[in-house]
Amino acid sequence: MEFSLEQLAGILGGTVEGNPTQKVNRLDKIQEGQPGSIAFLANPKYESFLYETAATAVIVSQDFVANKPYQTNLIRVKDAYTGFTTLLEAYQQLNQAALVGVEEPSYFAESSSMGENGYRGAFSYIGKNCILGKGVKIYGQAYIGDRVKIGDGSVIYAGAKIYEDTQIGKQCVIHAGAVIGSDGFGFAPQADGTYKTIPQVGNVILEDQVSIGANTTIDRATMGSTLIRKGVKIDNQVHIAHNVVIGENTVIAAQTGISGSTEIGKNCVLAGKVGIAGHLKIAENTTIGGNTGINKSIKTSGKTLFGFLAMDLNHFLRSYSVFKNLDDLQKRIQQLEKKG
């Protein structure tokens, strides 16, 4: 698809410096820009590429001031990174809008329904009594179990598995290989040392504008719902256990694991490999650094937490009792040194 710079500036709410009639047909990194492409400059570390790039146009922020001459056209917007993100979203939506209809072979139960402008890829499976909204895209080899509801504009990529009774809101994205609604880890220990399976009869609910990364798993609730609130963004290879609640606009990076019945507040940030024990509550606006283990509730909003090293449990507990008081101990030592 080809657009003039004037058209793109209109989409982005920006202005063109240069020739507004020139056209672009692809997106490039600024350091790799070629004629016919558009790039962006948001990080000052990449400014040098502006003076070398062959891209037809570069998106920059309104307050950007060039230090050298350049050959490309500029599109000035309020924020360059946000502007380019908007452009990527528009590009993706245009591509997906072209996906309409049904590829065969595929299965769609007679009791299910799908809104207009939808797409079902080859070898996809849609179970009984499902309700799929307008513009829903189901890529090839995706599995949708019985009684699943999917809101308008949501996209289920290839190979994703959506178990029965799952509810997915509008404008959600489920990436390849994700599993939504599999059984939670529920096993009751028996007197003979074996474990008895506890049936998981709840479901998973994803509110609007949720993104689930590739190969991420979200377990169905034992009873009730595992709940992912509006605007949550979850990376690849994350595990969310049964009955977990994730608050609005929280972001979770790869390889994080959240144990059963834990509640995460809104606007939290969980970096890679975070581990959170079960039945905890994490206050809103909490930031948790990579490889951090959380084994107790965080009750105060806005905290930043980091660090957890494995060692013998008894040794760790004794060491931690000292470690958490090191600041006070240091002050006491300094006071004693002054007296001495």
Residues assigned a catalytic role: 242
Greatest CA separation for the chain: 87
Q: Are 285 and 265 within 8 A, CB to CB?
A: yes
What letter represents residue 179's amino acid?
V
Neighbours of 83 (CB within 10 A): 24
Radius of gyration of the chain (CA): 25
DSSP-assigned letters across all residues of 27-41 = E--GGG--TTEEEE-
The region, left, alpha or beta by phi > 0 then psi within -120 to 50, assigned to residue 151 is beta
**Six token digits for residue 219:** 């377990």
C-alpha distances in angstroms, 38 versus 50, 65, 72, 235? 12, 19, 10, 27
Residue 54: which residues within 8 A CB-CB, separation 6 or more? 33, 34, 35, 71, 72
CA separation for the pair 70, 121 (Å, rounded): 45
CA separation for the pair 60, 112 (Å, rounded): 47
DSSP-assigned letters across all residues of 87-144 = HHHHHHHHHHHT--EE-SS-EE-TT-EE-TT-EE-TT-EE-TT-EE-TT-EE-TT-EE
What letter represents residue 168's amino acid?
I
Residue 130: which residues within 8 A CB-CB, separation 6 or more? 109, 112, 113, 144, 146, 147, 148, 149, 150
Cis peptide before 69 (omega within 30 of 0): no
